[in-house]
Chains A and B, each alone.
Chain A
Amino acid sequence: EAQVTQNPRYLITVTGKKLTVTCSQNMNHEYMSWYRQDPGLGLRQIYYSMNVEVTDKGDVPEGYKVSRKEKRNFPLILESPSPNQTSLYFCASFPRGIANTEAFFGQGTRLTVV
């Protein structure tokens, strides 16, 4: 089954404790992206990757890192989480870039930083 898998689904952590949210897709998509969803703000892009070893900042990259060592995986790293990073996070992948194609989303990771 074609899917994007994120882990964990739920995470509560403390300020400053490094964490990684994993994202994996089994569709051989080149383009992957991370979003955060906050009430009234829709989805905002954090980082994206157009291919292996190619990553770039989105609209709200501060406090986040990513890596793309393999095509299927695109982990999101919070080196020193802060309470303003409490949010719902989604990973998405796209076939053939983004122009006219649909995004495939993971089920989301709800992160709470206390």
Chain B
Amino acid sequence: GNSVTQMEGPVTLSEEAFLTINCTYTATGYPSLFWYVQYPGEGLQLLLKATKADDKGSNKGFEATYRKETTSFHLEKGSVQVSDSAVYFCALSDPSASKIIFGSGTRLSIRP
């Protein structure tokens, strides 16, 4: 079945460091891919998405490219801020099963 695997956390970086959070997926067909972010005490909110191969999603300085050949959707940011501290979830849509499949989440902490 379809699945999402993302790197284990926690990830701790200093402010202005470069960020990569790895995400790979297994899917039949052509799912849409998403990154959601969960700030402390809040629900998840969409960070970015890509709906087809080679699409790049971007938002708030974060980027991710839908790579079909490597089945990956890695999240990157060139210079992180303390306010980026949160839990990040990679996800894919599975319309045949009427659900979104989430990875296990990666907790990111940014030191001032």
Contact = CB atoms under 8 A, between A and B. Distances in A.
A102 B34 contact: yes
Interface in A15-58: 31, 33, 35, 40-45, 48, 50, 56, 58
A76 interface: no
Interface in A62-114: 90, 92, 97-100, 102-103, 105-108
Given A42-B104, A100-B51, A100-B93, A50 B44 contact: no
11 contacts: A31-B98, A33-B100, A42-B89, A42-B105, A44-B102, A45-B100, A97-B98, A99-B32, A100-B49, A102-B49, A103-B100
Interface of B: 4, 32, 34, 36, 41-46, 49, 51, 89, 93-95, 98-100, 102-105
Closest 10 CB pairs of A and B: A105-B43, A102-B46, A42-B104, A42-B102, A43-B102, A99-B95, A105-B44, A100-B32, A107-B43, A100-B51
Given A43-B44, A102-B46, 12 more contacts: A33-B100, A40-B104, A41-B104, A42-B104, A58-B99, A97-B98, A98-B93, A98-B98, A98-B99, A99-B95, A102-B49, A107-B42
